[in-house]
Structure 1
Amino acid sequence: MPTHNRIDLIEFPAADPDALARARSFYEQAFGWTFTDYGAYVDTTDSGTAAGINGVPGDTQQKMPLTVIYADDLETARDAVSASGGTVLHDIYPFPGGRRFHFTDPAGNELAVWSE
Structure 2
Amino acid sequence: MKAPINYIELPANDLVKIKRFFSDVFEWQFSDYGEQYTAFSSASAGLDGGFYLAPLSSSTEAGAALVVLFSDALEACLEQVVEHGGRVVKPIFEFPGGRRFHFCDPCGNEWAVWSLPEA
TM-score, normalised with respect to structure 2: 0.48
